[in-house]
Amino acid sequence: MAGVLHGLLTLAALVALLCVPCLLAIAIFADVAIDRTERSMKQAATRWRTRREAARLERSTGIEPAHRRLRRPQIHHQPPAEEAPAGPPFEQVAADLRRLARQRAEVAHRSPVWFAAVHRAYDERLRIACRELEIPEHLDALEGIDLEIERLRVEGLLEAAGLSLAVIDTDGRQDTR
């Protein structure tokens, strides 16, 4: 019997040792929790009163509250939001097009792999420039001579839009259009 009593007292001492600091912390910081709860209850009551008054006003005057008009999605009246640029600055695209046009003229000294890479990069920059200037292009869908004709058409439209591209003619002279 003495062993059981000793075990129970030891268990009670351990529980007290673990629980007393927790109870003290709760007692010390209870005022903070009470203040937060009180503040949130006051805010909830204020919101409820405001909504009730707005509903009464709406019923009596027939005028819809402004906060409901603001929350309603405005499909036709909302101006388009400013979007972050989707690609590089247009000046960089123009400089890349001029550089790649010069590199396309240096075909004789380069490998076919390099030539194909330059053409892919040039076509990609043409696509970006067309997208920025809202010019229709079909560079993705074409191959061979049709692709060359489309490049010439797109270059002409870009020049008509004000983007000057450096072109090297067959004599090796540089002509800025």
Condensed to tens digits (0 to 9), the pLDDT of residues 35-76 reads 889 999 999 999 999 888 878 877 877 766 565 555 555 555
Does residue 80 lie within any of the structural domains? Answer: no
Within this chain, do residues 131 and 168 fall inside the same structural domain, yes or no? yes
Give the number of domains in the chain.
2
Q: Is the pLDDT of residue 19 over 50?
A: yes
Mean pLDDT along residues 92-106: 84
Does residue 81 lie within any of the structural domains? Answer: no
What is the pLDDT, as a whole number, of residue 74?
55
Within this chain, do residues 95 and 124 fall inside the same structural domain, yes or no? yes
Within this chain, do residues 117 and 48 fall inside the same structural domain, yes or no? no
Last residue of a domain, one of 71, 104, 120: 71
Q: Is the pLDDT of residue 28 over 70?
A: yes
Does residue 85 lie within any of the structural domains? Answer: no
Question: How far is Cα 2 from Cα 131, in angstroms, rounded to an integer?
Answer: 91
Q: For residue 62, give its domain range.
A: 2-71
Q: Record the pTM.
A: 0.47
Q: Determine what percent of the chain is predicted with pLDDT higher than 90.
A: 8
Residue 134: pLDDT band with limits 50, 70, 90: confident
Of the candidates 165, 176, 153, 150, the one whose C-alpha atom is nearest the C-alpha of residue 93 is 165
Task: Map 6-17 to HEC letters.
Answer: HHHHHHHHHHHH
What is the pLDDT, as a whole number, of residue 169?
54
How far CA 114 is from CA of 2, 71, 105, 111, 118, in Å, comes to 94, 56, 12, 5, 6
